[in-house]
């Protein structure tokens, strides 16, 4: 027996029948978001604000930069259920909402996401270093000049730091891979 | 005392693949290949070094799915069958190549190797390689550490702290069950670090982690010694960072040691090269050509016209490369010793399966690195993370940066257009599992069985391997199927439990199939649960 022949017992849910939005960082610059908006949420909106406002408004994500205390909107379409958002604020805390954007100033929110921290992408400027004896929880304030280590190993060059990739296995340069018959 | 140290850390892991519902299942061979090509050669080499009186110690993480598979009687029996088939095949190869001396010599080499594997596995260790690792740990040459329960990629599970807690706690419990003590360290799957892991590590008594270079270099505040000394976070987690230079020497696909032209070519295998009627009994039962492990050619160069593999020449290359590796570390230490107030530690973490499976000469290279390094002990020594912590307990306080060792350094490998669809289901299933664990405080009988199985199904779905395989575009259908099956089974269990309508026969069948973590307690997913 081989791939794909395991007996399926149960299958992936097509819908979770709940309006929600979740976000996770892909890297320091990009957020992945997915969501679901139920028919019931749509009916509630239309019942409350009327059908024309649904048609007039745009589906959108409101992205909150919690570290900078500001936000921005990203228009989506009614058929989509996920997207990648170019955010480009390494290190900040982020939250998203999904809803309808009626005007530049008027957003009706259906659901809020979890909060995530975007990864950092650079060396933090030099600061006072604190050393601790972990056996005694004793801290020793000190300052050590390390520029030579960082310069010697070119640690400031981010492209040199990131790599080589390790998971899986290297396809070494001259090995010839066979194609299955 | 050494002027500096090298910490060799191997991470042994395979996804949990066990299909009792079939007599023969292609992907189960991943385990069998790894046992013969990696785990037994490593165990043999460590045993030899110990018998030679070499004073050394390296760290190895053995993932919980791998432990459960190594301990599984069905897979043990199937591995013995696998070896017997290879012994039969190599016997035929000796006959087939009798007029081709170079190939014949290799056929004899493989025949002897697989016969020896069978002896080591059955007679020496009574089918328990866990016992072999335990013996090596007891004799002081290995520092064994654990990994997350099913190798879940924690940066993408972290939106639910309970899911992270379950992965870490079950990882620690499984390790403790097999080795009789808690691990000092944990290999975060794919070196995926997020701050949320730290609280649970502290609760489980885990002291240290290994993270990617920029996890240390981008830490806050800036670590004064770069990756050459561990840092300690405010929660007490000690983080060791991967050394960039030594990583490139081994891992780089362009200039890495394993790509040397003298080494055995992984891809040329008689499973693909020989007549289908001849090889058919030794490949997949449904006729798919697969790697048999019998490979007669060296990498040679960028050509299909490969030279016949020469083990003596390949071993000589491995010895030279071991010396090169050591001399590079000495140069690093010569530079660093005057810049640091304690001996530097150069952290060299690798996937264990690189050694032997992908890089056939890897175990011999490692043997030479260990042996030659111990002979020049005054310049540099081998150390484990645990031993370094004991020797040098004063370390800089800093918070590591979110990071992984995947391509581009963050989450890209496990989150992209090829695999992003899984997270909606993984996250929602985690929420549902937390809900079940919170709602059913002290279930027993069939209800407890169903709740425990729901935990297993969720953990199995969370394995980082499925997203990785989807991204790597090899065996994609199998990875998708596994995700769908585990989420599907979890979802059925969720509704059966909520509706008080558990299908006993179906549950029994699923428990039989997905039997990982026999002692799991579903309450590990409780919101208020502490790890201890």
pLDDT digits 0-9 by tens, B433-478: 999 999 999 999 999 999 999 999 999 999 999 999 999 888 899 9
Q: Could you tell me which residues are beta bridge partners of residue B12?
A: B62
| Inter-residue contact A168 to B259 (CB < 8 Å) | no
Chain A: give the shortest CA distance to residue B264, in Å: 9
Evaluate if pTM is beyond 0.80.
yes
Q: For A174, which residue in chain B has the nearest alpha carbon?
A: B302
pLDDT band at A177, cuts 50/70/90? Answer: very low
Question: Is the distance from CB of B90 to CB of B107 less than 8 angstroms?
Answer: yes
Contacts of B528 (CB under 8 A, 6+ apart): B438
State the average pLDDT over residues B217-240. 95
pLDDT tens, position by position, B133-165: 999 999 999 999 999 999 999 999 999 999 999
A119 neighbors A97 (Cβ within 8 angstroms): no
Which residues fall within 8 angstroms of residue B271, CB to CB, at 6 or more apart?
Answer: B279, B282, B283, B289, B290, B291, B292, B294
pLDDT band at A136 (very low <50, low <70, confident <90, very high): confident
pLDDT of amino acid B532: 40
Q: Is B225 on the interface with A (CB under 8 A)?
A: yes
Q: Is the pLDDT of residue B531 over 70?
A: no
Contacts of B325 (CB under 8 A, 6+ apart): B246, B249, B250, B257, B365, B369
Smallest Cβ distance to B484: which of A8, A28, A119?
Answer: A8
Q: Which range among A141-155, B51-65, B168-182, B497-511 shows the weakest confidence by mean pLDDT? A: A141-155
The b/e string for B299-333 (b: 16+ C-beta within 10 A; e otherwise) is bbeeeeebbebbbeebeebbbebbeebbeebbebb
Q: A95-104, B65-74, B250-259: lowest mean pLDDT where?
A: B250-259
- Chain B residues whose beta carbon lies within 8 Å of the beta carbon of residue A112: none
What pLDDT is stored for residue A169 in this prediction? 46
d(CA A51, CA A30): 34
Q: Kindly report the average pLDDT of chain B as a whole number.
A: 95
Read off the pLDDT of residues A80-90 as tens digits, 9 standing for 90 and up.
Answer: 999 999 999 99
pLDDT band at A153 (very low <50, low <70, confident <90, very high): confident
Question: How much is the average pLDDT of B94-101?
Answer: 98
Are B420 and A176 in contact (CB < 8 Å)? no
Inter-chain CB proximity A125 and B489 less than 8 Å? no
Residue B253 has pLDDT above 80, yes or no: no
Determine phi and psi for B505, rounding to 5 degrees.
-65, -45
Three-state SS at B18: coil
Q: Contact, B249 vs B256, CB < 8 A?
A: yes
Q: List residues bridging with A20 in a β-sheet.
A: A36
The pLDDT value given to residue A143: 65
A19 min Cα distance to partner chain B (Å): 12
C-alpha distances in Å from residue B21, one per residue of A106, B27, B452: 57, 13, 21
Comparing CB atoms, the residue among B191, B286, B393 nearest residue A135 is: B393
Collapsed DSSP state (helix, strand, coil) of residue B152: strand
Which B-chain residues 118-177 have CB contacts (< 8 A) with chain A?
155-156, 159
Please state the rounded mean pLDDT for residues B390-400: 95
- Among the partner residues A6, A82, A135, nearest to B420 by beta-carbon distance: A82
**Residue among B397, B396, B408, B516 at smallest CA distance from B453:** B516
Phi, psi dihedral angles at B444 (to 5 degrees): -140, 175
Residue range B303-342, pLDDT digits in tens: 889 999 999 999 999 999 999 999 999 999 999 998 998 9
How far does B241 lie from chain A, in Å, by closest CA?
Answer: 12
Q: Give the torsion sign (CA, A17, A22, A26, A29).
A: positive
Q: Residue A66: what are its φ and ψ, rounded to 5°? A: -70, -25
CB B207 within 8 A of CB B386: yes
Mean per-residue pLDDT for B228-244? 96
Who among A5, A120, A181 is closest to B289 (CB)?
A181
Percent of chain A predicted with pLDDT > 90: 60
Mean pLDDT, range B22-32, rounded to an integer: 94
> What does the pLDDT read at residue A159?
66
Nearest to A155 by CA among B300, B352, B244, B127: B244
* B11 CB within 8 Å of a chain A CB: no
DSSP assigned state of A36: E
**Interchain pair B304, A176: CB under 8 A:** yes
pLDDT over 50 (residue A2): no
Residue numbers in A near B415 (CB within 8 A): 24, 26, 32
pLDDT reading at A139 higher than 80 = no
- Cross-chain residue pair B252–A170, CB shorter than 8 Å: yes
Total Cβ atoms within 10 A of residue B140: 11
Report pLDDT for A162.
65
Question: Given a cut of 50, is residue A6 above it in pLDDT?
Answer: no
**Which member of A12, A173, A176 has the closest CB to residue B254?**
A173
Which of B469, B514, B517, B477 has its CA nearest to residue B493? B514
Q: Name chain A contacts of B468, Cβ cutoff 8 Å.
A: 167-168
pLDDT at A173 (0 to 100): 43
CA distance A43 to chain B (A): 24
- Whole-angstrom distance, CA of residue B193 vs CA of residue B196: 8
Q: What does the radius of gyration of chain B's CA atoms come to, in whole angstroms?
A: 23
* Whether B244 contacts chain A with CB within 8 A: yes
* Residue A7: per-residue pLDDT: 35
Confidence class for position A39, pLDDT limits 50, 70, 90: very high
Q: What local confidence, expressed as pLDDT, does residue B124 receive?
A: 96
Q: Which residues of chain A does B420 touch, with a Cβ-Cβ cutoff of 8 Å?
A: 32, 34, 82
Q: B500 — contact with chain A (CB < 8 Å)?
A: no
CA atoms within 13 A of residue B399's CA, in its CB half-sphere: 13
Nearest CA-CA partner of B208 in B237, B168, B165: B237
Helix (H) or strand (E) holding A59: strand A58-65
Cβ–Cβ under 8 Å, residues B365 and B259: no
| CA B38/CA B468 separation, integer angstroms | 21
Contact yes or no for B284 and A2 at CB 8 A: yes
**Minimal C-alpha gap between B386 and chain A (Å):** 13
Distance from CA of B281 to the nearest CA of A (A): 14
């Amino acid at each position: 027996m081989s791939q794909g022949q395991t007996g399926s017992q149960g299958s992936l849910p097509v819908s979770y029948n709940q309006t929600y939005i979740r976000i996770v960082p892909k890297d320091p610059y990009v957020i992945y978001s997915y969501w679901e908006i139920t028919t019931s949420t749509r009916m509630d909106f239309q019942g409350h604000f009327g059908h024309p406002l649904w048609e007039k408004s745009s589906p959108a994500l409101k992205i909150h930069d919690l570290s900078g205390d500001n936000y921005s909107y990203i228009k989506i379409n009614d058929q989509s259920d996920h997207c990648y958002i170019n955010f480009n604020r390494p290190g900040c805390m982020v939250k998203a909402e999904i809803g309808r954007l009626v005007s530049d100033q008027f957003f009706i929110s259906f659901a809020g996401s979890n909060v995530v921290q975007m990864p950092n992408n650079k060396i933090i400027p030099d600061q006072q270093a604190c050393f601790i004896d972990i056996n005694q929880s004793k801290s020793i304030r000190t300052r050590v000049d390390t520029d030579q280590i960082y310069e010697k190993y070119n640690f400031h060059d981010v492209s040199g730091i990131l790599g080589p990739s390790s998971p899986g296995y290297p396809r070494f340069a001259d090995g010839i891979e066979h194609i299955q018959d | 005392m050494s002027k500096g140290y090298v910490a060799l850390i191997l991470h042994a892991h395979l996804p949990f693949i066990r299909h009792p519902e079939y007599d023969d299942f292609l992907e189960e061979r991943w385990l069998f290949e790894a046992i013969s090509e990696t785990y037994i050669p490593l165990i043999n080499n460590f045993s030899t070094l110990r018998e030679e009186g070499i004073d050394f110690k390296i760290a190895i993480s053995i993932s919980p799915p791998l432990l459960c598979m190594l301990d599984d009687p069905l897979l043990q029996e199937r591995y013995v069958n696998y070896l017997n088939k290879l012994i039969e095949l190599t016997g035929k190869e000796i006959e087939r190549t009798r007029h081709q001396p170079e190939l014949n010599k290799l056929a004899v080499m493989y025949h002897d190797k697989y016969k020896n594997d069978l002896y080591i596995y059955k007679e020496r260790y009574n089918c328990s390689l866990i016992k072999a690792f335990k013996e090596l740990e007891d004799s002081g040459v290995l520092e064994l550490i654990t990994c997350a329960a099913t190798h879940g990629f924690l940066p993408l599970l972290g939106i639910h702290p309970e899911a992270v807690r379950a992965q870490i706690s079950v990882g620690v419990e499984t390790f403790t069950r097999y080795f009789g003590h808690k691990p000092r360290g944990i290999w975060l799957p794919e070196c995926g670090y997020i701050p949320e892991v730290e609280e649970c590590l502290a609760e489980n008594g885990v002291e240290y982690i290994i993270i990617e270079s920029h996890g240390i270099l981008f830490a806050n505040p800036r670590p004064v010694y770069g990756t050459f000394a561990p840092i300690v976070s405010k929660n007490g987690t000690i983080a060791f960072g991967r050394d960039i230079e030594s990583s490139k020497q081994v891992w780089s696909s362009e200039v890495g040691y394993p790509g040397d032209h003298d080494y055995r070519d992984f891809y040329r295998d008689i499973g693909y090269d020989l007549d289908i009627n001849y090889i058919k009994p030794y490949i997949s039962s449904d006729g798919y050509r697969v790697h048999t492990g019998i490979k007669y050619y060296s990498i040679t160069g960028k050509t299909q016209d490969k030279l016949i593999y020469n083990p003596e020449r390949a071993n000589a290359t491995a010895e030279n490369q071991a010396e090169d590796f050591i001399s590079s570390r000495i140069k690093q230490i010569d530079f660093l010793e005057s810049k640091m107030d304690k001996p530097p530690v150069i952290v060299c973490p690798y996937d264990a399966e690189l050694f032997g499976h992908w890089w056939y000469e890897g175990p011999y290279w490692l043997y030479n690195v260990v042996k030659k390094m111990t002979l020049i002990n005054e310049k540099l020594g081998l150390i484990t993370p645990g031993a370094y912590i004991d020797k040098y307990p004063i370390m800089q306080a800093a918070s590591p940066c979110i990071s992984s060792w995947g391509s581009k350094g963050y989450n890209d490998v496990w989150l992209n257009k090829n695999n992003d669809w899984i997270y909606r289901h993984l996250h929602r299933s985690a929420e549902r599992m937390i809900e079940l664990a919170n709602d059913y405080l002290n279930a027993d009988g069939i209800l407890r069985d169903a709740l425990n199985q729901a935990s297993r199904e969720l953990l199995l779905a969370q394995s980082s391997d499925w997203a990785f395989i989807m991204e790597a575009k090899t065996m994609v259908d199998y990875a998708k199927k596994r995700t769908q099956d585990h989420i599907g089974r979890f979802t059925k269990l969720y509704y059966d439990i909520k509706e008080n309508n558990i299908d006993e026969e179906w549950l029994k069948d699923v428990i039989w199939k997905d039997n990982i973590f026999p002692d799991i307690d579903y309450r590990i997913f409780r919101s208020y649960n502490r790890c201890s």
